[in-house]
Structure 1
């Protein structure tokens, strides 16, 4: 009498695995993680991702024994979008216009994808794994701030660190208003960015924060 094939360790469904099956399972896992991370952030567990993908949790662990690898695969596309936006901003004729494009589109991407926001605010190994991509965005933001300052469009006293704080503030608002008014953050983004622009009647800003202060604030923000 014929017998069923013995499941191998790579098989979650009982059928003998094929390379094509393994590739499809991996794609299902990444797609499920991408969807859940975008709507709920990076704290989603592998059990929930497995359920969303319609697979056994063992399959998820075998394909992604390190959760950081799954995070990197799941947010690769929004990271690519951030890099593209940064490139467009850098090519703007006037640095101020590029800076506003970077901030507005960056805020849109971060509010649309809570997982991406979590990664950007992270201060642990997750952030270090993704720094190659996120650093491009930050470096271009700093370059645009420097150019806008030299062109006279940036308010005296505004610093590169202010850019990150503005994005933290508006994306935090967006996270709390998503079910009530998803676009509410845009109003306050405008208020905050208007405060960066140079004008004859603008008074001096309060003293800038030290790099260590920004780092400490970011760590506390990410932890809470």
Structure 2
């Protein structure tokens, strides 16, 4: 074999492997977002259009794949927080990040489940928190210093509010997947100062029938 030609197939295999990994991770992200963490690597392989063996060559188990997807999500959160901190209007920067966080959690079932699991893994949870918390605090502090926040509102309040909106999203998703946007606006109206215009409530509340149907879904899920 001519040594000069030997590296070519190696480079091609590396490129193929990189493309397969991107397809696998993209498929896993979509499946985790839609179905949570109960999916299998077989599901991922089918969605990515590759063999199961290819998935196992890149990730020895589902936990490794979850970690890769979660790392991408955290990186995107960090980028969103940095963009909000750089917004020329402190209040709009805060709104931008709050809407991003609520949207991401409300539409990504897997991310919410991983965050709940991380609370049991103190070291990893602390690492994630410490990575993004300072930037988020800076976003909120800028809004407070500009007079846009009501007195007494603290950065930790926003973590609670985001989780509250996420809980509404989880409850209402089976019957009305857009309702959470109403409560995101209500939450922002609750922390803003009188100097800042209120968010409009463009999304109506759940109807009585939708509330009853949502309760049915919750009860059915608990019995399973």
Structure 2: how far apart are the matches of 1:144 and 1:21? 41
Structure 1 contact 110–171 (Cα < 8 Å) conserved: yes
TM superposition shift of 1:34: 1.6
Pick the structure with more helix per residue.
2
Give the match's secondary structure for 1:195: helix
Matched, 1:46 2:41: yes
Cα deviations by residue, 1:139-189 (Å, 9 ceiling, x for unpaired)? 222122223333333222222211111111112222333343222111111
Give the match's secondary structure for 2:157: helix
Q: How does 1:50-199 map to 2 (within 5 A)?
A: 50-75=45-70, 77-121=72-116, 122-125=118-121, 128=124, 131=127, 135-199=130-194
State the match for 1:35 in structure 2.
30
**Scaled by the length of structure 2, what TM-score is found?**
0.66
Structure 2: how far apart are the matches of 1:186 and 1:55? 37
TM superposition shift of 1:64: 0.8
Cα deviations by residue, 1:111-145 (Å, 9 ceiling, x for unpaired)? 2222233334431449828945x644432221222
Structure 2's unaligned 5+ residue stretches are 1-12, 196-221
CA RMSD of aligned residues (A): 3.1
Structure 1: how far apart are the matches of 2:39 and 2:124? 20
Give the match's secondary structure for 2:191: coil
Structure 1's unaligned 5+ residue stretches are 1-17, 201-223
**Scaled by the length of structure 1, what TM-score is found?**
0.66
Structure 2: how far apart are the matches of 1:83 and 1:182? 26
Structure 1: how far apart are the matches of 2:20 and 2:84? 37
Structure 1 contact 119–126 (Cα < 8 Å) conserved: no
Structure 1: how far apart are the matches of 2:131 and 2:14? 35
Structure 2: how far apart are the matches of 1:127 and 1:185? 31
